Amino acid sequence: MAAHPKTGQVWELPTFLPIGKDAQGRERRALLINSAFPAGPGEYSSKYVHYWVCTWDATNRRLTPDTTEPKLMDYGDHFTGPSGTVDGKGRSLVFSVAQDRRTERAHYDAGWAHNAGLPSELSMRPDGDLGFRPVEEVSRLHAGAPLLDITATTFSADANNRLAGINGDMLHIKLTMERGSAGTFGLDVLRNSGDEERTRLFSDAPAGQPGVDRTRSGNNSTEPGFGIH
As to burial, measured by CB atoms within 10 angstroms (0-12 exposed, 13-18 middle, 19+ buried), residue 105 is: exposed
Q: What pLDDT shows up at residue 141?
A: 80
193-225 pLDDT per residue, tens: 888 888 999 999 999 999 999 888 876 544 555
Q: What pLDDT shows up at residue 105?
A: 82
48-83 pLDDT per residue, tens: 889 999 999 999 999 999 999 999 887 766 778 899
Separation of alpha carbons 53 and 123, rounded Å: 11
Question: In the predicted model, is pLDDT for residue 92 greater than 90?
Answer: yes
Residues of the chain with CATH 2.115.10.20: 5-139
| Cβ pair 71, 51 in contact under 8 A | yes
Architecture in CATH of 5-139 = 5 Propeller (2.115)
Separation of alpha carbons 54 and 219, rounded Å: 45
212, β-bridge pairs = 201
The mean of the pLDDT values for the chain is: 85
Q: What pLDDT shows up at residue 122?
A: 96
